[in-house]
Amino acid sequence: NTAADVTELSLAKIAKQEAEEKLKLAIDAADLGSYETNLETKEIATSHRFRKIWGLKEPVNRQRLIERLHPDDRFIRAEAHKKAMETGCNVSYEARIIEDDESVRWVKVKGKMFTDFENSPPSLIGIVQDITDQKLFTQQLKKLVKKRTEELDRSNDDLMQFAHVVSHDLKEPARKIKIFSDLLEAELSDNITPNSKKYIDKLQLAADRTIILIE
């Protein structure tokens, strides 16, 4: 008879199961879809949520995933995967999916390469998130900001035109006050009294200050 203490092995197995359950709960709570791609066989294992977001039924393959992408966004996926393969960094990109009814859905994809002992990348494990609502909100916000900016620009233009007209209308009487005070001073130059001279100087100074203020 033989015996072995497998307590540590059993505890490790339990801890692994608990970690997997917690990860699954976290992914479900975040409404994420998960996938795993065998980069040698190109086989893809996907969760139910992944297929729902992508609008696909089993079996899922690389070609079907690409066909669901918006034609203008397919190069984004290709570049993200190419960069990950060349540098070993994580896969990360956002793209549009075309639904069967021609509507558009935005997704964010994140994945990580896993390398085996031969230093080749046999698998890619990642998640996908539906970010359509976020994108729509961002687009609406941009439109609102653009609209408000255009309204502000029009308001500023109107204000500048108003200021130009008002400044012209205000400067004209100020100039006339100054001109006629100069004429009055010249006409009374021989008989002007000290008080009259002081009053005219104050009048001219006030006219000058008014013009400067308008400018």
Higher pLDDT, 129 or 24: 129
What is residue 31's predicted lDDT score, i.e. its pLDDT?
74
What strands lie across the sheet with 104-114, from one edge to the other?
Answer: 44-46, 32-38, 123-130, 104-114, 91-98
What is residue 9's predicted lDDT score, i.e. its pLDDT? 79
Q: Is 95 helix (H, G, I), strand (E, B) or coil?
A: strand
pLDDT band at 185 (very low <50, low <70, confident <90, very high): confident
69-81 pLDDT, tens digit each: 999 999 999 999 8
Distance CA 137, CA 71 (A): 23
3-state secondary structure 8-32: HHHHHHHHHHHHHHHHHHHHHHCCE
The pLDDT score that the predictor gives to residue 76 is 93
Residue among 75, 84, 139 at smallest CA distance from 106: 139
User: How does residue 12 score in pLDDT terms, banded at 50, 70 and 90?
Assistant: confident
Q: Which of 26-30, 92-96, 98-102, 198-202 has the lowest mean pLDDT?
A: 26-30
For residues 126 and 93, give the distance between their C-alpha atoms in angstroms, rounded to a whole number: 12
Residues 19-68 have pLDDT tens digits of: 667 667 666 656 788 888 887 778 888 888 888 888 888 888 888 888 89
* Cβ atoms of residues 111 and 128 within 8 Å: no
pTM of the full predicted structure?
0.58
Cα maximum dimension of the chain: 141
Task: Specify the pLDDT at position 30.
Answer: 60
DSSP 151-187: HHHHHHHHHHHHHHHHHHHHHHHHHHHHHHHHHHHHH
Q: What is the pLDDT of residue 74?
A: 93
Stretch 134-150: mean pLDDT: 92
As a whole number, mean pLDDT of residues 131-160 equals 92
pLDDT at 118: 59
CA neighbor of 196 nearest in space, from 211, 206, 181, 209: 181
**Residue 13, CA distances (Å) to 6, 10, 17, 116 in order:** 11, 5, 6, 22
Q: Which of 15-29, 100-114, 157-171 has the lowest mean pLDDT?
A: 15-29
